Copies of this chain bind each other. A is one copy, B any other.
Amino acid sequence: MVGDWESRAKAKREAILDSIPEKWRLQKIPSPEEQKDVTGSYIQQFLNDKEIAITETDAVGIAEKVAAGEWSAVDVTEAFCHRASLAHQLVNCLHETFFDAAVASAKDLDEYYAKKKKTIGPLHGVPVSLKDQFHVKDVETTMGYVGWIGTFEGKPDDPRKGTHESEMVRELRALGAVLYCKTSVPHTLMSGETVNNIIGYTWNPKNRYLCSGGSSGGEGALIGLKGSPGGFGTDIGGSIRIPAAFNGLYGIRPTSGRLPYEGMANSMDGQNTVLSVVGPLATTARGVRLLTKAILSEKPWLYDPGVVEMPWRDAQEQAILDILKSTSDKGQLSFAVLKSDGIVTPQPPVARAVSMVAEALSKAGHKIIEWKPPSHKTLLDLTFKTWAYDGGKDIHDSFALSGEDISPQVKSIYGDKAREQFTAAQIAANNVDLRRFRKEYMEYWNSTAQETGNGQPVDGIISPLAPYPAARRKLYKYYGYSAWVNGLDYTSVVLPVTASDKTVDKYEAEYTPIGDLDKDVFDAYDADLYDGAHVSVQIVGRRYTEEKTLAIAEYIGQLLGK
């Protein structure tokens, strides 16, 4: 098999394209020079009015329309299958399509509705896309590895091949969701750019000179093009939040143990220090809430041994809403702003977005302070080490299955062969150091009670999610603004803020980079090229504050007029 990897990758690539019905094929894919932005009116030209109405409705709206009997699940499903097909042709965002199975399950839902006069669950008829780590019956999972084609996670004869479903897939079906496609990822999952030898490169639909983010880059691009109202990604260093941010979406990185990861494919599975977590991306904050709340209503702690028994807590959300409604001084929220982590200065559009959020909150009467935490350099060193515990053995074993080329994005992190592994004692020492750092960080957070004026520590941190609005190809060099959250296992919600604007977003004339990494980021900025790109920030909350942090992010979106 080794040596033959290029033809196997090509065959798979063609099979994905061939799975798109003839009627939905595009004659010509424009170059980025011809068409930088393929969202909005560009993609709409290939759709009829009803398809546009359906696909430009968010997950909550779709659920409502189907529940009211205005739209059938089949109509909704077909519209999204169509738009997803267009999206893939424009930006390479899909690994798998299973439109026939989707339409069949939509028919079942419509029959159920016709017969029982009610929905089967809160996601009845809502299409949900899945990152290509989820196992779905009768569908392959390659995770971008050529060596995984035709296997179960690289094992050709594993009895789970074609039959196994991830726990969350079972729950989504029970909730009434319609599953129809799996989205692209960088091989290894360990990159903020989505690149692999099967689909090539997933471009940012808003600005096809930029990446769609990663590792849930297919989700980001697909939802960004409204080929899906919402879907699930995973995040060990930013992989939900980066594509959410780069595509103008809402996305949540829950604290580990909140949502069920059971039965999914993964990289470096069994590394137990900084866990990859699963969470939704969607076009609206309420879409993210619907998906999160729906999964929790299935009591995943009874089916995934890693999930904490913690239902959706309306009271935590209501507490924030009550404060926002109140007018007293005591009732205001407080936030800290992280303008720079001291290692890399965010590019001008990102810096502006952070300021916009801080100013909007301040204007609305909330207290804003500066975030001056313990060293993020220390935090990042401890965090990045956890990704290197096995010296890259797991990923290089997967590459070796086919002998395929390793993308430069991944090679820059993991080299071209496995390195020495950490011993148990070295792992334990890093775990202890990280735990101590988390305690120190927590004490710093607690100490802000002295600065907020209401006696309470800050309710959240306004932080860049990446130094870029979106990275350019092969230029994603710095993960510090997303990975610090993973190192601390905090909850974080990304929200869209603005668009890059070449007329205002410029480094100061005398700007001098603060170090090599900052120079990379500085050099990568090009105001003209970035013009029009989405710019987002993240709101970071303490552990297990999904309800609260999402309510805050939604509120900020409203303040910004989104």
- Rounded to whole Å, the gap between the CB of A236 and the closest CB of chain B is 14
- Copy number in the complex reads 2
Please, how many angstroms separate the alpha-carbon atoms of A269 and B236 in the complex?
Answer: 23
Please, how many angstroms separate the alpha-carbon atoms of A514 and B424 in the complex?
Answer: 35
* Chain B positions within 8 Å of A122 at CB level: none
* Chain B positions within 8 Å of A432 at CB level: 269-270
State whether B544 touches A424 (Cβ < 8 A): no
* Chain B positions within 8 Å of A442 at CB level: 302-305
Please, how many angstroms separate the alpha-carbon atoms of A439 and B164 in the complex?
Answer: 14
Please, how many angstroms separate the alpha-carbon atoms of A263 and B432 in the complex?
Answer: 11
* Chain B positions within 8 Å of A257 at CB level: 308
State whether B309 touches A389 (Cβ < 8 A): no
* Chain B positions within 8 Å of A427 at CB level: 270, 389, 424, 427
- Tell me which of A272, A301, A542 has the highest count of chain B C-beta atoms within 10 A of its own C-beta: A272
A258-297 vs B: 1/0 string, CB under 8 Å? 0000110000111111000000000000000000000000
Q: A272-B272, A302-B446, A421-B423 known; A308 and B544 CB under 8 Å? A: yes
Of the candidates B423, B435, B446, which one forms a contact with A423 in the assembled complex, judged by CB atoms under 8 Å apart?
Answer: B423
- Rounded to whole Å, the gap between the CB of A488 and the closest CB of chain B is 8
A415-435 vs B: 1/0 string, CB under 8 Å? 000000111110111111001
Please, how many angstroms separate the alpha-carbon atoms of A542 and B545 in the complex?
Answer: 23
Of the candidates B262, B270, B304, which one forms a contact with A429 in the assembled complex, judged by CB atoms under 8 Å apart?
Answer: B270
Please, how many angstroms separate the alpha-carbon atoms of A561 and B118 in the complex?
Answer: 51
* Chain B positions within 8 Å of A273 at CB level: 272
Of the candidates B262, B309, B425, B544, which one forms a contact with A543 in the assembled complex, judged by CB atoms under 8 Å apart?
Answer: B309
State whether B425 touches A393 (Cβ < 8 A): yes
A510-531 vs B: 1/0 string, CB under 8 Å? 0000000000000000000000
Please, how many angstroms separate the alpha-carbon atoms of A301 and B316 in the complex?
Answer: 15
| A64 at interface, CB cutoff 8 A | no
| A560 at interface, CB cutoff 8 A | no
| A150 at interface, CB cutoff 8 A | no
What secondary structure prevails in chain A residues at the interface with B?
A: loop
Please, how many angstroms separate the alpha-carbon atoms of A389 and B310 in the complex?
Answer: 31
State whether B308 touches A430 (Cβ < 8 A): no
Q: Which residue from chain B places its CB closest to the CB of A440 in the assembled complex?
A: B305
Please, how many angstroms separate the alpha-carbon atoms of A390 and B424 in the complex?
Answer: 5
* Chain B positions within 8 Å of A270 at CB level: 427-432, 435
State whether A425 touches B308 (Cβ < 8 A): no
Please, how many angstroms separate the alpha-carbon atoms of A309 and B544 in the complex?
Answer: 6
Please, how many angstroms separate the alpha-carbon atoms of A431 and B424 in the complex?
Answer: 13
| A391 at interface, CB cutoff 8 A | yes
Please, how many angstroms separate the alpha-carbon atoms of A391 and B393 in the complex?
Answer: 22
* Chain B positions within 8 Å of A302 at CB level: 442, 446, 542
Please, how many angstroms separate the alpha-carbon atoms of A308 and B302 in the complex?
Answer: 17
Q: Which residue from chain B places its CB closest to the CB of A446 in the assembled complex?
A: B302
State whether A425 touches B305 (Cβ < 8 A): no
| A394 at interface, CB cutoff 8 A | yes
Q: Which residue from chain B places its CB closest to the CB of A308 in the assembled complex?
A: B308
* Chain B positions within 8 Å of A389 at CB level: 424, 427-428
| A107 at interface, CB cutoff 8 A | no
| A306 at interface, CB cutoff 8 A | yes
| A438 at interface, CB cutoff 8 A | yes
- Tell me which of A423, A430, A446, A488 has the highest count of chain B C-beta atoms within 10 A of its own C-beta: A423
* Chain B positions within 8 Å of A489 at CB level: 305
- Rounded to whole Å, the gap between the CB of A411 and the closest CB of chain B is 20
- Rounded to whole Å, the gap between the CB of A138 and the closest CB of chain B is 22
* Chain B positions within 8 Å of A544 at CB level: 301, 308-309
State whether A306 touches B435 (Cβ < 8 A): yes
- Rounded to whole Å, the gap between the CB of A200 and the closest CB of chain B is 30
Q: Which residue from chain B places its CB closest to the CB of A389 in the assembled complex?
A: B424
* Chain B positions within 8 Å of A543 at CB level: 301, 305, 308-309
A530-553 vs B: 1/0 string, CB under 8 Å? 000000000000111100000000
Q: Which residue from chain B places its CB closest to the CB of A439 in the assembled complex?
A: B305
* Chain B positions within 8 Å of A309 at CB level: 310, 542-545
Please, how many angstroms separate the alpha-carbon atoms of A93 and B315 in the complex?
Answer: 46
* Chain B positions within 8 Å of A424 at CB level: 271, 389-391, 393, 421-424, 427
A/B interface sample: 18 pairs, CB < 8 A: A262-B439, A270-B427, A270-B430, A272-B273, A301-B542, A301-B543, A302-B542, A303-B446, A305-B489, A309-B310, A310-B310, A389-B427, A390-B428, A394-B428, A421-B423, A421-B424, A424-B424, A427-B427
Q: Using a CB–CB distance below 8 Å, which chain A residues touch chain B?
A: 257, 262-263, 268-273, 301-306, 308-310, 389-391, 393-394, 421-425, 427-432, 435, 438-439, 441-442, 446, 488-489, 542-545
Q: Apart from A301-B542, A394-B428, A422-B424, what 9 extra A-B contacts exist at CB < 8 Å?
A: A270-B431, A301-B543, A301-B544, A302-B442, A303-B442, A305-B441, A305-B543, A309-B545, A423-B423
Top 5 A-B pairs, shortest CB-CB distance: A270-B428, A305-B438, A270-B431, A389-B424, A270-B432
